[in-house]
Amino acid sequence: MKPVEISHAELSGLIGLIYESALEDPQWKRFLDRMAQLFPATSAMVLGHQGNRLFPAYTGTGVRHERFERAGIEVDFVNRRNENALTSNAKMPNGFVGRTRKLADHEVFFSSNFHRTLMAPMGQGHFMTLKLDSHSDRGAFIVFSVSADPEVEAATHDPLFETLKLLAPHAVRALKMARALSMARNALSVMGGFLDTIVLPMVVVTGRTEFVFANAAGRRLLAREVPMRVAGDGRLQMQDAQDARAFAAKLREMEGQPVAAGLRVEGEDGPLSLCLTPFRPSLSDVSPLDRDLLQEERLFAVFIGQRGGDAINLGLLRDVYELTAREAEVCGALLAGQSPAQIADGSGRALKTVRNQIQAVYEKVGVTSVAELSEALSVFRTVGAVFDGGAGPPQLTGGGRHAG
């Protein structure tokens, strides 16, 4: 049997299929079916786990033991560092592709109860996993097992592994996109009217600062990486170290007492106010995989705005209304009381150019005058107003740089 070769066209098709199937029900099914066509005699499943025990398979293709349809399967073999193979996989970064041929001792793996009772009867040998996500001691991954037949294994194992490494980043991204779409559908109702400010950047995290999803403005803010970004380990990371410590401390407080809280951080374009509030999404609309991953996870929504006394943050304007850098500058100047002629003189741009930029700002914000613009942008102040002047519960205010 010749080694499997995947063409550029087939790889491109697989990438597209990953994103499409992540949004479908059952999730990932068409992607797994296509992989089984390209790699003969392989079997694939989407699995979740808590600790060293598996949840029932969410979906799959090819032959597999009926016990995978039930909960409670225990993974009993260890890796080369003498750690349980399943729980150690949860510590790996999202998108990690592991294979038993490298991670586990040959004799340990093939003599394990897991392999003898679940894989060997189906004619399967080694397997590899693509980690999708994990929260606390729960995780989810796609597992691909290859035939125990030496000739078939030689033709499929390495090509499958190399293909999975190319597909892994897309699988992780697709899961996050599908989760964001399903959870953001009811974000307004979830907040229970606490803030009528969904236009503001909103980022949802766990109590351990693990990023879950963001709305459109939030994604633009994260892409600018000011004042925060998603780090390589999947956690929300503040640009300033002192802000990072205060943010983590605030989340720890809210884990114990889940009430809204405020935080003031520094950004390149001026100070920003963060409103942190418990986020309790309805999990009825998310995939079964996400339901298992997130059902016991405390989530927190972070809204990014400003306080009343601060000048409008130009970066925030760009995030919320998709203004260009120059449009944001013009908008800020208008709000500061400058006329078009003064803006043109101060920026060195032609008056006609400035007027065109003002019109572009009006169109993007959805207003027709400076007065309407000022009123529309008052939403930026809503977050800060919650914590200004003793508004809200007493514990929401406080002293120091990071208070509300």
Superfamily of domain 187-312+382-396: PAS domain (3.30.450.20)
Q: What is the pLDDT of residues 301-328, one digit of tens each?
A: 898 988 877 888 899 999 989 999 999 9
- 399/32 Cα distance (integer angstroms): 54
pLDDT of residue 288: 87
Paired tokens of 252: 């720890």
Number of H helices, E strands in the chain: 17, 14
**Residues 6 or more apart whose Cβ sits within 8 Å of residue 5:** 159
Res. 389: pLDDT tops 50: no
Closest CA to 158 of 81, 97, 94: 97
Which runs of consecutive H residues, i.e. helices, occur in 185-215?
A: 187-190
Tell me, what amino acid is at 221?
A: L
- 372/401 Cα distance (integer angstroms): 32
Give start-end residues of each CATH 1.10.10.10 domain in the chain: 317-376
Q: What percent of the chain has pLDDT over 90?
A: 54
Architecture of domain 317-376: Orthogonal Bundle (1.10)
Long-range contacts of 262-265 (CB under 8 A, 24+ apart): 262/383, 262/384, 262/386, 262/387, 262/396, 262/397, 262/403, 262/404, 263/402, 263/404, 264/307, 264/401, 264/402, 264/403, 264/404, 265/227, 265/238, 265/240, 265/402
Closest CA to 251 of 293, 210, 300, 215: 300
On the CB side of 381, CA atoms within 13 Å amount to 12
Closest CA to 86 of 157, 137, 123: 137
pLDDT of residue 384: 62
Res. 340: pLDDT tops 50: yes
When mean pLDDT is compared across 110-114, 135-139, 329-333, 392-396, the lowest value belongs to 392-396
Paired tokens of 67: 């016990």
**In terms of pLDDT, which residue wins out, 198 or 372?**
372
Give start-end residues of each CATH 3.30.450.20 domain in the chain: 187-312+382-396
Res. 182: pLDDT tops 80: no
For tokens 């691909």, the residue is 144
**Residues 6 or more apart whose Cβ sits within 8 Å of residue 138:** 48, 49, 50, 90, 292, 293, 296
pLDDT of residue 392: 36
- 374/361 Cα distance (integer angstroms): 12
Paired tokens of 266: 């520094």
Give start-end residues of each CATH 3.30.450.40 domain in the chain: 8-183
Res. 388: pLDDT tops 60: no
Q: Is 81 exposed, middle or buried (0-12, 13-18, 19+ CB in 10 A)?
A: exposed
Q: Is the peptide bond before 227 cis (omega within 30 degrees of 0)?
A: yes
Res. 204: pLDDT tops 70: yes
Paired tokens of 390: 């003793």
End-to-end alpha carbon distance in the chain: 66
Q: Which CATH number, 2.40.10.120, 3.40.50.300, 1.10.1660.10, 3.30.450.40, labels domain 8-183?
A: 3.30.450.40
Is the pTM higher than 0.75?
no
Q: What is the pLDDT of residues 127-159, one digit of tens each?
A: 999 999 988 788 999 999 999 999 999 999 999
Tell me, what amino acid is at 274?
A: L
- How confident is the model over 36-43, as a mean pLDDT? 95
pLDDT of residue 376: 85
**In terms of pLDDT, which residue wins out, 184 or 202?**
202
Res. 194: pLDDT tops 90: no
- How confident is the model over 22-49, as a mean pLDDT? 94
Compute φ and ψ for 22, nearest 5 degrees.
-65, -20
